[in-house]
Amino acid sequence: MLQAIIGGLTLGSVYALIALGFNLTYTTTRTLNFAQGDFVSVGAFVGLGTVGVLTAALGADAVGYVWLYALAAVAAALVMGVLGLPLYLAAIRPFAGKPGMSWVVSTIGFGIVLQSAALSVWGLGARMLPAPFGDEVFRIGEAGFRSQELVVLVLAVAILGAFDVAMRRTAIGRCMRAVALNRDAAALMGIDVPRVMAMAFLASSALAGLSGVLVAPILSASLFMGVIIALKGFSAAIIGGLTNPRGCMAGGLLIGLVESLTALWSAQWREIMVFLLVILVLAMAPNGLFGRKLVEKV
Amino acid sequence: MLTVADLSVSYGPIRALRGVSIRVGAGEIVALIGANGAGKSSLLRGITGLVPATGRVTFDGRPIDGLSTPQRVALGVAMAPEGRQIFTDQTVHENLLLGGHLLRGRPQRVAANIDRFYALFPRLLERRDQIAGTLSGGEQQMLAIARALMTEPKLLILDEPSLGLAPIITADIFRTLVGLRRDGMTILLVEQMANQALAIADRAYVLEGGSIVLEGAAATLRRDPRIREAYLGGDLAHHAA
């Protein structure tokens, strides 16, 4: 039971990172990056590639693997974050703020391009990214869990907390919230609105890339693993409320828990329960548990 | 200071503004009056770059019509927009800090400006850490003006500052505007409350159906029978409502 809770919170914290990414782009641009899943997968492979290149360059034991893994995580966040900019320029900027949903197709298209490019580099197969602290199983009473679960949980919660503080306490957070609430009023403060939007995509893509490296040692990394993670992250954002970053985080943890506790009873029912929960929440609270309706002024 | 020549604004097939030309001289209060839908807000949004417009806008001797809104703000054009549009989910103080966005990197200057506007609007100081959405209408308007002033403008544009306010509060706000002008601010004031606007303005333009139909000294327009008929009578209706 404890084991399932820790496992659930671990996956849930990754969903929360993805959900936070959806929240960032939705509030600032009213669009979502449906390529988020591909950013997760490709992020994992950028991490794998980084480890490979560094090992080849430095020799296998030059630095501890923990450092290699940390560098891989940073590289994935950076590379995917930077790729968020062309995504914004090509797939979002022409359509943001205009009626219609062209950005749905354009972001999915960007994801397909990204995935295809990655497939041509890394191929179809699944790979294993070793966990930085090994695959040993720790025991607390009855429960056993892997070191990577703690790594993911601690890192993800730290990042979520840092984002929360940054959104409330820093100038850039104030600007993001201002743009989220009212773009015209933000522009009248001299805020460069398109730049804030681009930064939202950079941050959201970096979160996706980092998530990929975090989960790769738990699941095995394939270029198709991101889709379901992003879908759960999206569900988390929908359940918690797309407009509320804390709601998105809570939604992620909730989905992770439901998934993992259901698996105790029947693994096949995991996905069913998750999406039943989504339907149930939406039936009762169409804007999610902690969300509010955004009124778009025309 | 501000010259607008032949400005037009369209929303799809609808032409909201049809070739409007106005001028605001340094140190003036210029009023722009007109009924709902006359194109007042479109003109202001065209001047500030919030909507695409055709025509020429010159500020301080340089063309600004090709610039983005933040670039125009940086040159000294500030607007307290229609319906105040303060950041309702942030505190009063955070709203003012956002007004200091262009002066980031100069925190002392931002802090000094904030102190200045707390002195101008002591009510805002009392409400410093309150979420702006919980302020009264009058306080929100004060915040909208203070926030615009935080950008250190040369020209302050106000879009219907009296909207939804009790007459006594409106009078308060208008007194503040007169004080700002005394200190050297140039003001473009859009109002449906024509009487009060004309009382503090030097000159005025009347906008109807997207075009300027009348212009002149505010004192003259105030006595103009067409104005009295169309707009000043309307003030009574406003007070009743």
Cβ pair B151:A189 closer than 8 A: yes
Is the torsion defined by CA of B90, A199, B150, B186 positive or negative? negative
Collect all residues of chain A within an 8 Å Cβ-Cβ radius of residue B147.
189
pLDDT tens-digit map of A130-161: 888 888 888 877 777 888 998 999 999 999 99
Cβ pair A188:B81 closer than 8 A: yes
Q: Name the DSSP letter for residue B101.
A: G
Range list of β-strands (E), B72-222 = 77-80, 155-159, 186-191, 203-208, 211-217
Distance in angstroms (rounded) separating the CA atoms of residues B201 and B198: 5
For residue A105, the surrounding DSSP H or E stretch is helix A102-122
End-to-end CA distance of chain A: 51
Collect all residues of chain B within an 8 Å Cβ-Cβ radius of residue A171.
97, 101, 104
Query: Which A-chain residues 184-213 have CB contacts (< 8 A) with chain B?
Result: 184-193
Cβ pair A191:B70 closer than 8 A: yes
State the count of interchain CB pairs (< 8 A) between A and B. 63
Q: Name the DSSP letter for residue A88.
A: I
DSSP output for B123-148: HHHHTTTSBGGGS-HHHHHHHHHHHH
How many folded domains does chain A comprise? Answer: 1
Cβ pair B99:A187 closer than 8 A: no
CB B84 within 8 A of CB B144: yes
Is residue A256 a part of any domain in this protein? no
Is residue A128 a part of any domain in this protein? yes
Is residue A144 a part of any domain in this protein? yes
What is the phi/psi pair of residue B206, to 5°? Answer: -115, 125
pLDDT tens-digit map of B169-203: 999 999 999 999 999 999 999 998 788 899 999 99
Q: What is the pLDDT of residue B226?
A: 81
Cβ pair B68:A177 closer than 8 A: no
Cβ pair B101:A175 closer than 8 A: yes
Shortest Cα distance, chain B CAs vs residue A266, angstroms: 43
**Residue A111: C-alpha distances to residues A11, A26, A86, B90 (Å):** 23, 17, 12, 35
Closest to B71 measured CA to CA, from A185, A190, A175: A190
The minimal CB distance from B85 to the residues A184, A192, A193 is found for A184
Cβ pair A187:B74 closer than 8 A: no
Strand order in the sheet with B62-63: B14-24, B2-11, B54-59, B62-63
What residue of A is the nearest CA neighbor of B78? A188
Q: What is the pLDDT of residue B160?
A: 94
Shortest Cα distance, chain B CAs vs residue A190, angstroms: 4
- Reply yes or no on whether the pLDDT at B143 is more than 80: yes
Is residue A90 a part of any domain in this protein? yes
Angle between helices A171-181 and B92-99 (to 10 degrees): 100
Closest to A120 measured CA to CA, from A214, A28, A223: A223
pLDDT tens-digit map of B34-93: 888 899 999 999 999 999 999 999 999 999 999 999 999 999 999 999 999 999 999 999
Closest to A135 measured CA to CA, from A45, A221, A217: A217
Cβ pair A190:B74 closer than 8 A: yes
Q: Which residues pair with B17 in a beta bridge?
A: B9
Is residue A264 a part of any domain in this protein? no
Is residue A275 a part of any domain in this protein? no
Q: What is the pLDDT of residue A100?
A: 80
What residue of B is the nearest CA neighbor of A244? B89
Q: Confidence class of residue B232 from pLDDT cuts 50, 70 and 90?
A: low
Distance in angstroms (rounded) separating the CA atoms of residues A169 and A166: 5
The minimal CB distance from B85 to the residues A175, A182, A191 is found for A182
Distance in angstroms (rounded) separating the CA atoms of residues B136 and B142: 10
Distance in angstroms (rounded) separating the CA atoms of residues B223 and A7: 78
Shortest Cα distance, chain B CAs vs residue A86, angstroms: 22
Distance in angstroms (rounded) separating the CA atoms of residues A270 and A291: 25
Q: Quickly tell me which residue has 């020549």 as its tokens.
A: B5
Q: Is the minimum CB–CB distance between A182 and chain B shorter than 8 Å?
A: yes
Is residue A180 a part of any domain in this protein? yes
The structure tokens listed for A39 are 């950013």
- Reply yes or no on whether the pLDDT at B236 is more than 50: no
Q: Is the minimum CB–CB distance between A104 and chain B shorter than 8 Å?
A: no
Q: What is the pLDDT of residue B194?
A: 85
Cβ pair B79:A188 closer than 8 A: yes
CB B4 within 8 A of CB B40: no
Collect all residues of chain A within an 8 Å Cβ-Cβ radius of residue B94.
174
| Residue A229 burial (CB count, 10 A) | 24
Q: Quickly tell me which residue has 């096949």 as its tokens.
A: A268
Which of B92, B94, B97 to probe the A interface (max A CBs under 10 A)? B94
Collect all residues of chain B within an 8 Å Cβ-Cβ radius of residue A186.
98
Exposed, middle or buried: residue A42 (CB in 10 Å: 0-12, 13-18, 19+)? buried
**Residue A99: C-alpha distances to residues A102, A172, A201, B10, B53 (Å):** 9, 28, 20, 17, 20
Q: What is the mean pLDDT of each run of 10 residues along chain A (298 residues)?
A: 88 95 93 94 95 85 84 96 96 83 92 94 88 82 83 93 92 94 96 95 96 92 91 94 91 94 88 91 88 61
Distance in angstroms (rounded) separating the CA atoms of residues B32 and B13: 25
DSSP output for B219-232: HHHHH-HHHIIIII
Q: What is the pLDDT of residue A253?
A: 95
The minimal CB distance from A184 to the residues B81, B89, B147 is found for B81
Q: Which residue has the higher pLDDT, A290 or B26?
A: B26
Q: Residue A114 sits in which domain range? A: 15-225
The minimal CB distance from A177 to the residues B49, B89, B150 is found for B89
Cβ pair B48:A188 closer than 8 A: yes
CATH architecture of B2-84+154-240: 3-Layer(aba) Sandwich (3.40)
Distance in angstroms (rounded) separating the CA atoms of residues B139 and B141: 5
The structure tokens listed for B226 are 């067409």
Collect all residues of chain A within an 8 Å Cβ-Cβ radius of residue B79.
188
Q: What is the pLDDT of residue A72?
A: 95
The structure tokens listed for B92 are 């009063």
Q: Which residues pair with B9 in a beta bridge?
A: B17
For residue A234, the surrounding DSSP H or E stretch is helix A225-240
* Alpha-helix runs per DSSP H in chain A: 2-29, 36-58, 65-87, 102-122, 147-169, 171-181, 183-188, 193-215, 225-240, 245-265, 269-284
The residues, ordered by sequence, that sit 6+ positions from A92 with a Cβ below 8 Å of its Cβ are A25, A29, A31, A33, A103, A106, A107, A197, A201
Q: Give the type of residue at A7.
A: G
Cβ pair B102:A177 closer than 8 A: no
Q: What is the pLDDT of residue A62?
A: 67
pLDDT tens-digit map of B100-114: 999 999 999 999 999
**What residues of B are in the A interface, CB distance below 8 Å?**
48-50, 68-70, 73-74, 78-79, 81, 85-90, 94, 97-99, 101-102, 104, 147-148, 150-151
Is the torsion defined by CA of B233, B237, B240, B241 positive or negative? negative
pLDDT tens-digit map of B109-135: 999 999 999 999 999 999 999 999 999
- Reply yes or no on whether the pLDDT at B229 is more than 90: no
Cβ pair A181:B87 closer than 8 A: yes
